[in-house]
Structure 1
Amino acid sequence: MTTYGVSVLGADLTALAAASDAADRAGFDAVWASEFYTRSGSISMAAMAGSTRQCRIGSSILYGVGRSPLVLATEARDLDELSNGRVILGIGNGTKRMMSDWHGVPDTSAPAVRMEELVTLLRRVWNLHNGPVHHDGRFYTMHLVPTGEVEPPVRDIPIITAGVRPRMCEVAGRVADGLAGHPLFTTKYVEEIVRPAIAKGAAHSERNPADVEVISMVMCSIHDDPLIARRELAQQIAFYSSVRTYETVLDVNGFSAEGRIIREAFAEHNFQAMFDAVTDDMIDAMGVAGTADQVRRGLTRYEGVLDHIMLYAPSVGIAPERVQENIDSLIRECAPGKRPPR
């Protein structure tokens, strides 16, 4: 059965914690934190852990680069303790420009291999009771010898890895417990590209692809005026479509021409033209927008395609007050008791 969660944004940590509490009380399966150059995902998760009791607490995503494997492993372990065993560690590289310009990573090659090496190393750190870690890999070096006895972990913290292109999606099948999908994902892209890539990765590691949870953000906007909701969704779609890394999603869905127009407009800093280039077909394929009833019914098309739907409120070009209003609406109107049967 497909479960639902909420990607929680907040003007500050207090608002983020309050929204997480509301989602938990409403019966959502998970709340999700993200990070950017203005917000730490791990600190957000700590605030969420303190304000919730039942739901899973996930990161979508923490940057795998920018932290050493040891720091990432210890942060996750502490967060899992703080939440009484409810953490899902979602990690990703970000785009190559993020890796080089934001985090100062000199070698941005082979991101899939980098992620596979990182996941394997994290699990070795968590199981330090089995013995020292001596690792000289392509991207990471660690020689960690405990100075005393180390207790085994209370549980295995689930790891989900971010992926868009097939090879990065394959990483989840090879080494992770789940895939963190991108907001631009459509049902067509998940069925034709994502799941086959996960199955390929799982076969490589002799694993069952059914054991890999397919999680993805779904952009949603609720407004009494459906045209306003659709416009908000279009602005978020344009923002993501301006990134060449995600070009493959547009191509598979038949939106290559629209993508070129959006990227050209972005290069000219013509944001209005970017937003205007998003077609009705793109809005209908890449998210759900409209009244509360329209959004609830629209979300049913993802059920059975995704294992976990992460409701994600658009924020590009939208006032923070309106973003919060939309998050509140999504929590209230899309809670388990409100959703229609498939």
Structure 2
Amino acid sequence: MPIDVWLNGSATQAGERAAELRRLGVDGVFTFEGPHDVFLPLALASREPDLALMTNVAMAFPRSPIHLAHAAYDLQLLSGGRFRLGLGSQIKAHIERRYGSTWSQPVERMRDTVLAVQAILHSWQTGERLDHRGPFWQHTLMPPQFSPGPNPYGTPPVLIGALGPRMTEMAAQVADGLLVMPFNSARHFRERTLPAVAKGRAGSERPFEIIAEAIVATGNSDQEIELARQAVRNLLAFYGSTPAYRPVLEVEGWADLQPELNLLSKQGRWQEMAGLIDDTMVDTIAVSGTPAECAGQIRDRFGGHVSRMCCYFPGYPVSDAAIAELAEALHGN
């Protein structure tokens, strides 16, 4: 199973870190909307041969489809055809208050954004007239002076990050792939994600891939693993406080935890939030243990259903040796 790893840090470190990760046996790198730009580090990482590149995810709603299409086109060109554009919706508070943008009808808005990006890329690739008229975006003008022309490596795939059944079903209908959110469990993936994909894909023969992401707590000693598990507790508490992630808690019988975490987050009681995440929750939502043990858990949860695996090591100093061992274990049969 190919493994992608988060390319964290600023653009000043991205090229060097991408080369290091490739030497460790990693197959690709991904970025997400954190403290740094989501596209620029990938431009620098594109210099590393044979390394897959992906946004997982770039926020779609604050950006015009034309901006997304240009970024995707250029990264596809720079990388020689190794780029995937992963888009996400985020939650209302962040879109409106952090990005200063508009949030409404997320499934419908995301559908229109993806179709608009695809229409723009198709127009550039084929020379056909651009004529996208959707409920949120209209793109009907593309003079030759503003078209980059056909990309020699083809149009980059457009994927959607989704958790809920409606967004997941829609992704299966219009996108080139699904990015499974890291706050997940084997049961939620099996009982909710896969049926929604099947419903959206019914009758379609269009190529489609599922890429999963896992929160990984790993190390090469009990002390390292326990440090990683504590960092994961902090992250799970943060995720769990968000109503959008309640379905995962709900399917595991922990729905009542979400409003409790939400209340504590509004009061800034972060330490208490992490204390509510017990070992069972860590083991159910994240994967934990030695690199080999984590690879086995990932295979048990997603094996046979996903084309590649994104591994996220949140807030703790994972060693390069552990990353290399995880990559080797996931590459094995």
TM-score where L is the length of structure 1: 0.88
Query: Is the Cα–Cα contact under 8 Å of residues 185 and 249 in structure 1 kept in the other structure?
Result: yes
CA distance in 1, matches of 2:292, 2:193: 29
Query: Is the Cα–Cα contact under 8 Å of residues 64 and 91 in structure 1 kept in the other structure?
Result: yes
Deviates more, 1:23-32 or 1:281-290: 23-32
CA distance in 1, matches of 2:330, 2:70: 38
Q: Kindly tell me: are residues 19 and 147 of structure 1, through their superposed partners in 2, closer, same or farther at Cα, counting changes over 3 Å?
A: closer
CA distance in 1, matches of 2:128, 2:190: 41
Query: Is the Cα–Cα contact under 8 Å of residues 173 and 207 in structure 1 kept in the other structure?
Result: no
Query: Is the Cα–Cα contact under 8 Å of residues 42 and 75 in structure 2 kept in the other structure?
Result: yes
Q: Kindly tell me: are residues 222 and 18 of structure 1, through their superposed partners in 2, closer, same or farther at Cα, counting changes over 3 Å?
A: farther
CA distance in 2, matches of 1:189, 1:126: 34
What letter corresponds to residue 85 of structure 2 in structure 1?
L
Q: Find runs of 4+ consecutive structure 1 residues off by over 6 angstroms.
A: none
Q: Kindly tell me: are residues 188 and 269 of structure 1, through their superposed partners in 2, closer, same or farther at Cα, counting changes over 3 Å?
A: same
Is 2:271 the counterpart of 1:272?
A: yes
User: Which residue is 2:260 aligned to?
Assistant: 261
Query: Is the Cα–Cα contact under 8 Å of residues 73 and 155 in structure 2 kept in the other structure?
Result: no
Is 2:17 the counterpart of 1:22?
A: no
User: Which residue is 1:112 aligned to?
Assistant: 107
Size of the aligned set, in residue pairs, is 325
CA distance in 2, matches of 1:80, 1:298: 32
Query: Is the Cα–Cα contact under 8 Å of residues 296 and 340 in structure 1 kept in the other structure?
Result: no
SS in 2 for 1:216: strand
Q: Which residue of 314, 331, 334 corresponds with 2:326?
A: 334
What letter corresponds to residue 130 of structure 2 in structure 1?
V
What letter corresponds to residue 287 of structure 1 in structure 2?
A
CA distance in 2, matches of 1:208, 1:282: 37
User: Which residue is 1:304 aligned to?
Assistant: 304
| Runs of 5+ consecutive residues of structure 1 not aligned to the other structure | 316-322
What letter corresponds to residue 26 of structure 1 in structure 2?
L
User: Which residue is 1:89 aligned to?
Assistant: 85
Query: Is the Cα–Cα contact under 8 Å of residues 61 and 110 in structure 2 kept in the other structure?
Result: no
Shift of residue 329, structure 1, vs aligned partner? 4.3
Percent of paired sites with the same residue: 26
TM-score where L is the length of structure 2: 0.90
Aligned pairs (5 A) from 1:180-329: 180-203=179-202, 206-208=203-205, 211-223=207-219, 224=221, 225=223, 226-302=225-301, 303-315=303-315, 323=316, 325-326=317-318, 328-329=320-321
CA distance in 2, matches of 1:263, 1:220: 24
What letter corresponds to residue 28 of structure 2 in structure 1?
A
SS in 2 for 1:41: coil
Deviations 1:95-144, CA, capped at 9 Å, x for gaps:
122222233333x2221111111111112211224433233321112221
Q: Kindly tell me: are residues 340 and 133 of structure 1, through their superposed partners in 2, closer, same or farther at Cα, counting changes over 3 Å?
A: closer
What letter corresponds to residue 262 of structure 2 in structure 1?
R
Query: Is the Cα–Cα contact under 8 Å of residues 189 and 252 in structure 1 kept in the other structure?
Result: yes
Deviations 1:177-215, CA, capped at 9 Å, x for gaps:
111121111121111111111111122xx4148x42221
User: Which residue is 1:43 aligned to?
Assistant: 40
Deviates more, 1:61-70 or 1:27-36: 27-36
